[in-house]
Amino acid sequence: MNVHAIKAIYLFEMARTWRTLFQSVVSPVISTSLYFVVFGSAIGSRITDIEGVGYGSFIVPGLIMLTLMTQSISNASFGIYFPKFIGSIFELLSAPVSSFEIVLGYVGAAATKSIILGLIILATASLFVPLQFAHPAWMFLFLVLTALTFSLFGFIIGILAKNFEQLQIIPLLIVTPLVFLGGSFYSIDMLPPFWQNVTLFNPVVYLISGFRWSFYEISDVSVEVSLAMITVFLAMCMTTVWWIFKTGYKVKK
């Protein structure tokens, strides 16, 4: 394994974060803080506790997941798309670096940035609402798996995208609505039976439910099912990336 190549890609992508600190870190933190102010304080004061947890505290895992997913996709997709856009991807492909090492460098950096951002938002949330950490190890596991999975997903989007506009289509029009409809601001038990069954087809429900369980030991589905779902999605993304590099689809063609 070419450790130097992985390190070079990883450090280059991490350095880009510090060059665009406001866009990469400050802006998402401010946006999430506004959610806490509006939903946690203004609206939350009018809503009773959900399964013994204050509404402001209840929405924290969902808001962290929202930021984690969108930022993981954004970081990874832009990271691989920009070399394609300027043509430097061919220099990388011709270098003595395997496809696994390329993916590890880009996806590792994107996941790292998202995890750091998630932890910053978690610390910010603690300033607004009281938090509990029933299972901190499980919380960090879900944090890492989600960041890694959606960074891989973003990597795929960056390879398939034809322009900068296409980089934003899936995060804005698909992922964000799925998070809002996936129990980030409510428990699906509050829905009518029919809509509860419909909501279970939303894969984001399982991620948010498992992550919330690690905080308060309350969930809409079992933690085993949540872990199984994110593992399946991770495996699907890994298989897709392997196929893309094996065939050269949208990379060499």
pLDDT at position 223 is 92
pLDDT at position 137 is 94
pLDDT at position 127 is 83
pLDDT at position 42 is 65
Write the DSSP string, 170-195: HIIIIIHHHHHTTTSSS-GGGS-HHH
Q: In whole angstroms, what is the distance from residue 56 CA to residue 115 CA? A: 22
pLDDT at position 227 is 93
pLDDT at position 41 is 65
Taking CA 192 as the corner, what is the angle to CA 189 and CA 195, rounded to the nearest 5 degrees? 90
Model confidence over 219-231: pLDDT tens digits?
Answer: 889 999 999 999 9
pLDDT at position 135 is 93
Sites in the chain below the pLDDT cut of 50: none
pLDDT at position 27 is 81
pLDDT at position 43 is 67
pLDDT at position 141 is 94
Q: In whole angstroms, what is the distance from residue 101 CA to residue 197 CA? A: 41
SS3 content of the chain, % helix, strand, coil (to 5): 80, 0, 20
Please name which of 141, 167, 173, 142 lies closest in space to residue 154, comparing C-alpha atoms.
167
Q: Which amino acid is at 124?
A: T
pLDDT at position 45 is 65
